[in-house]
Amino acid sequence: MKLRSKTAVLLLLALSALLLVLLTLRTSRRKPPAPPVHLASALQRPQPQAPAFILSEGTFTLEGQSAQRRRPLHPRPRAGSRDAASLEKLARRPGEPRSSHAVLPPKLWIHLAVVACGSRLEETLVMLKSAVLFSHRKMQFHIFTEESLKSEFDKQLRQWPDSYTKKFEHRIYPITFSVGNSQEWMKLFKPCAAQRLFLPVILKDVDSLLYVDTDVLFLRPVDDIWKFLRQFNSTQLAAMAPEHEIPKIGWYSRFAQHPFYGSTGINSGVMLMNLTRIRTAQFKNSVIPTGLAWEDMLYPLYQKYKNVITWGDQDLLNIIFYFNPECLYVFPCQWNYRPDHCMYGSNCKGAELEGVSVLHGNRGVYHDDKQPTFKALYEAIRDLKFLETVHTLCGRIPQVFLKQIEKTMKRAYEKHVIIHIGSNQMY
């Protein structure tokens, strides 16, 4: 067996083992069965032992209490300091059943945006599937696409099994550009790609957002990257990973004819944004001496640099954060792991230590044989049917089917894969 084939098999086995762990954890946390309680009846049932509490902006108030006497029972926490489990506990009234998907208010959901045009339907659905597969909190998908794909997106997502659909809601938007020439924006780099620049303007009711390209795969819960929002300081309003780790092999450091962030530039395929801050900020720029609002800045910057930008909207983001470096939080490369991190030798130390968190298969590697490791992971998630069988009798005991796979994977790894850190060789 060739090394590439072995690597692909090991990756498939590793994914299966991960699914086993997730399913086992869920099973182990279940409590002994209790008589069924309907949510509606639980809400209507009086609670004589304690007054009802209302969740309001992160604090509790006694129902019926006058406005003057309302005050938090505990000190107001720092924004974003509670995890999903504690938020669920706070939002649940006494006597209500535990169900994070049912009780978390929409303002606590994770918002995920993607822009898909042309032949990106399948790739986008696989990305969304990976997001749902591992995540815990409920998500709102914001899908921007051309008219011909709207009905197909809606049809495909509604056909997913209940185990998936209960974890998300989706909205589908047309491709629109609020300033400048729409045709110019449409043709900038790849079709529709520039739409991501206008998300703060379009999604006016969304506070924070995770944008990803269609060729992204989540290998761990989206909840984990969402937590980076808590690490923003008072001036930071977006987070991205570097385009490269080593300047001597970086594209921007060698070829760019325009300003770019840091020493290697940033990659916009995975972008976490505090939209509220973006909408209210005034950005330094190279067009006028004073600050400009986000929407007012986009087209003038494009007009000034359009003859020297190569990667379209990503180049514009690099220009913006070159002039406003204090506004950017840089997260590690394992959160946007691309072929560039391994095809020139392993140069993402975070991935070597912790593993890949978000896989970004740019360069079309999911659909050719140039990087079979990326392709194998994509196809494994695309073709995954195992969790769709949990409603059947045999599907309720997944450990029967996965236990030996996990053991086999471990033996194969110990026997065939020895990684010498620093040598970039695998035997």
Domains in the chain (CATH in brackets) are 106-389 (3.90.550.10)
pLDDT of residue 17: 58
pLDDT of residue 426: 38
Q: Rounded distance, CA 419 to CA 352, Å? A: 10
Contact 359, 219 (CB under 8 A): yes
pLDDT of residue 79: 42
- What are the Cα distances from residue 381, in Å, to 86, 124, 228, 272, 333? 30, 12, 25, 23, 22
Q: Rounded distance, CA 414 to CA 427, Å? A: 11
pLDDT of residue 385: 73
Mark the ranges of the chain whose per-residue pLDDT is less than 70.
1-104, 386-393, 395-427
pLDDT of residue 187: 82
pLDDT of residue 411: 65
Residues 6+ apart with CB under 8 A from 285: 291, 292, 297, 300, 301, 320, 323
pLDDT of residue 276: 97
Q: Where are the alpha helices (DSSP H) in 272-371?
A: 275-280, 294-305, 313-323, 349-354
Average model confidence (pLDDT) for the chain? Answer: 78
pLDDT of residue 99: 41
pLDDT of residue 306: 93
Tokens in use for 34?
Answer: 């209790």
pLDDT of residue 190: 78
